[in-house]
Amino acid sequence: EVQLLESGGGLVQPGGSLRLSCAASGFSFSSYAMSWVRQAPGKGLEWVSAISGGTTTYYADSVKGRFTISRDNSKNTLYLQMSSLRAEDTAIYYCAKGASIAPRCAFDLWGQGTMVTVSS
């Protein structure tokens, strides 16, 4: 079955760190760009970060310098290392599969999301 499964969310204090994972199955993971998209409670979608099928990375200004996206193609897994977390980072974090190896594409498969809450 083609699917994405996120994990690693939870409650973290402001200034803390957290690493999200996204396990992919059912498709050739290394052949597609991947992204993280978040959604604050009751709000719209916000693109966070993307990575090509290789190592080229892209970040939203709101997370640049604090978040790091990476992938392990041998483990079919996408990661998002988040540090210096702020209350405004509280959101459901979705991983999303790009429709091509280049990041400049729509997202044709989404995970179920993992909740990150930044609060003291």
Partner 1 sequence: DIQMTQSPSTLSASVGDRVTITCRASQSISSWLAWYQQKPGKAPNLLIYKASSLENGVPSRFSGSGSGTEFTLTITSLQPDDFATYYCQHYNSYSWAFGQGTKVEI
Residues at the contact surface with partner 1, assessed by CB under 8 A? 35, 37, 44-47, 50, 58, 60-61, 94, 99, 103-108, 110-113
For the CB of residue 35, give the shortest distance to partner 1 in the complex, in Å: 7
83: left (phi over 0), alpha (psi -120 to 50) or beta: beta
For the CB of residue 14, give the shortest distance to partner 1 in the complex, in Å: 26
What whole-number distance in Å separates Cα of residue 99 and Cα of residue 116?
26
β partners of residue 115: 92
**Spatial CA neighbour of 22 closest among 73, 67, 80, 66:** 80
For the CB of residue 30, give the shortest distance to partner 1 in the complex, in Å: 20
Pick 18 or 48: Cβ nearer partner 1:
48
